[in-house]
Amino acid sequence: MSSMMLSEDVLEMCSVRVGETLFGIPVTRILEILGKPATHPVPLSPDFIGGLAHYRGEVLTTVSLRRLLHMSRHETSEDVLVFEGDDGYFGLLVDEVCEVLTVSPAEFESNPSTLDDRRKSLFAGTYKLQSGLLVMLDPDRLDPVRLAGLELRVA
């Protein structure tokens, strides 16, 4: 993944905010952004599932980034980014979607060793921006199918 990134000159990242942290996701991977749709809770679902959202006639399973990071629930409704995963589409719930940023491979650094294992497995690295850090997210790592496998192994 990262080697592919490096071969490009500049990358466009959609920045999203969860809590205090700014995350970046390559815009090419985003199918659509849904502005604060209603989500429907699913009882007994794994903790990281943010509920169901309505997306183009289908029922979209969403992953809550907040809960992946063991943060408390967001009080108001969240924005949803739609990706294509192994098992069809899935959504990622974030506090809010911010602007699109341009980053260059030169600014990239891999995860710091001090990060806990959980976060290491979720984050793909960091871009050092002038204004701060942009934590890189790889949608493949957020696929609910993969996350469910991960939860099982932890359990």
Partner 1 sequence: MDDLTREFLIESQEGLDRMERCLTELEERPEDRELLADIFRSVHTIKGTTGFLGFSRLEKLAHAGENLLGLLRDGKLLANAAIISALLSLLDQLRKILVNIEASGGEGEGEDAAMIARLLELQEPQTRVGAEAKAEQGPIEKSKKKRKPRTKKQTEEKGLTKTAAPEPEGRAMEVYQADPQVVQPPRAMVNTAESTLRVDVDLLNRMMNLVGELVLTRNQILQRVSADSDMTLLSRRLDMVTADLREAVMKARMQPVSHVFSKFPRMVRDLAQQLNKRVRLVMEGQETELDKSLLEAIKDPLTHSVRNAIDHGVEAPHVREAAGKDAEGTVKLRAYQEGSYVIIEVSDDGGGMKVERIRDKALERKLITRERAAQLSDRELMQLIFLPGFSTAEAITNVSGRGVGMDVVRTNVEKIGGKVEIDSRPCKGTTLRLRIPLTLAIVPALIVSSRGQSFALPQGALSELVHLSAEQAKMQLEWIEGAALYRLRGKLLPLVFLDLLLGQREEGRYDGEAYIAVLNAEGRRYGLVVDGLADPEEIVVKPLSSVLKQIGLFSGATVLGNGEMALILDPGAIATRANISVALEEDTHDVMEAEARSGAAEYLLMQSGNEHTAVPLDTVLRIERIPRNKLEWLGGVPVLRFEGALLPLHNLGAEGDEMTVVVCRDGLRHVGVAVSQVLDVAEGRPLEEAGTHTAAQNVTLLNEKVTSIVPLEAVPALPIGAMETMQ
Amino acid letter, 88: G
Q: Specify the pairing of strand 123-128 against strand 133-137.
A: antiparallel
Integer Cα distance of 149 and 31 in angstroms? 24
Q: Which stretch binds partner 1 (CB under 8 A): 9-17, 19-27, 112-120, 145-153?
A: 145-153
Tokens of 118: 């959980």
| Of 8 and 87, CB closest to partner 1 | 87
Residue 39 CB, nearest approach to partner 1 (Å): 9
Strands 133-137 and 21-26: parallel
In 65-144, beta strands by DSSP E:
79-85, 88-94, 96-103, 108-109, 123-128, 133-137
Interface residues for partner 1 in 52-111 (CB under 8 A)?
Answer: 52, 54, 57-59, 61, 87-88, 90
CB of 31 to partner 1, least distance (A): 15
For the chain, the straight-line distance linking the first and the last C-alpha, in angstroms and rounded, comes to 28
128 is a contact residue toward partner 1 (CB under 8 A): no
Least distance from C-beta 41 to partner 1, angstroms? Answer: 7
Is residue 154 a contact point for partner 1 (CB under 8 A)?
no
Q: How far is C-alpha 35 from the chain's CA centre?
A: 15
- Our finding on whether 36 is near partner 1 (CB under 8 A) is no
CB of 44 to partner 1, least distance (A): 5
* Chain residues in the site for partner 1 (CB under 8 A): 38, 40-46, 49, 52, 54, 57-59, 61, 87-88, 90, 144-145, 147-148
